Amino acid sequence: MNAPRACSDCLRRAWLLVRLASHLDLQRRELANLLSHTDEDLIEAVGGTRATDVRAEWARFDATAYRERCAAAAVDTLCRCQDDYPAKLRDLDTPPSVLHVAGALGRFLELAAGEAVAIVGARRASPYAMENARALARGVAGRLTVVSGMASGVDTAAHEGALQARGGTIAVLGSSPERPYPPSARRLHREIIAAGAVVAELGPGVPARRWMFPARNRVIAALSEMTVVAAARQGSGAMLTIADAEGLGRSLGGVPGQVTAPLSWGPHMVVRRGGELIRSPEDVLTALGHDGPAPAAARERIDDPQLGAVLEALADGYEPRDAFAAAGLDAEGGLAALAALELSGRVRRRAGGRYTIVP
């Protein structure tokens, strides 16, 4: 898709955020207010002793050279002056001046225009949270765009679930869109670019800084009609995304977890404050007004009562040995049942011989 070129003023704003990145890091607690400043006021507010030099560089900004750097990195640009800029982002008080897109621009615009759910959560998430995030994304991917931040943990699982179902997914990065962040996510980054889109407020070659993550959270929230948190501690970045979504009047959801787990704090707080209790993809679809089951194919029913008993006991938190006993199986029969459940995709083996239920 050959979109009109992003305008010079918007490109200059994107450049300025990068030029002042270290200064913004020092004042990131005031980020929402700072992003509302004009270019001149932002330079004055955070430029410090370098303000005069930054102002001179700002006046000499070369939009053509900026566009050439983007083209060399295979990054498309879309500014908020353009008609096809995603309408949902205009709900923000400070929508990004420029969206930098890695992946087909037309595909990004199509995904951004459709109904979307953000699935977010902790980087160091439990297998339970990861499986739930993956299953939710996989289950809604035929009807909703799945949006997340490509961070390790829940974000990664959400993108993976959408890709497994051949659905659309958008990764919103705080740093450059053409570089995977974290760097260990190279394969996932390639897959999202090939089948979905990676988008960022900042242009090519920009390293990550701390202020960029809360800035990108507002974009995740704005692109989505609903934000679901699968696991989050108090004060985590995922809860900042929830706050942004709540401020925009978007729907919220929380995946319940163990009451003793710190990672359950976020989802439980969302539900306590009136958000949707999310147990399955159907809960997400229902909350957004969709009728019928999730598009993902339903699993075959377990007809073997002993297999069903083992699965139910594992789901209740029993260790495998105790699950065997609950099903009336000896060790050999129990191991055979576990193997059958694993082959059917009902459980996944973890390190140490533990098993996680696959939703």
- Provide DSSP, 195-237: HSEEEESS-TTPPP-TTHHHHHHHHHHHH-SEEEEEE--TT-H
Buried b (16+ CB within 10 A) or exposed e, 236-272: bbbbbbbbbbbebebbbbbbebeeeeebbbbbbbbbe
- What does pLDDT average to in each consecutive run of 10 residues of the chain (359 residues)? 76 96 92 95 94 96 96 96 96 97 95 97 90 93 95 96 95 96 95 97 93 96 98 92 97 92 94 95 94 58 72 69 76 74 71 67
Complete domains list, the chain, with CATH: 76-287 (3.40.50.450), 305-357 (1.10.10)
pLDDT computed for residue 54 by the predictor? 96
- 334 closest CA partner among 314, 358, 357, 359: 314
Angle of helix 237-247 versus helix 212-223 axis, rounded to 10: 50
pLDDT at 183: 93
Q: How far is CA 42 from the centre of its chain?
A: 29
pTM of the model: 0.84
Distance from C-alpha of 162 to C-alpha of 173, rounded to nearest angstrom = 17
- Residue 330: the pLDDT is 80
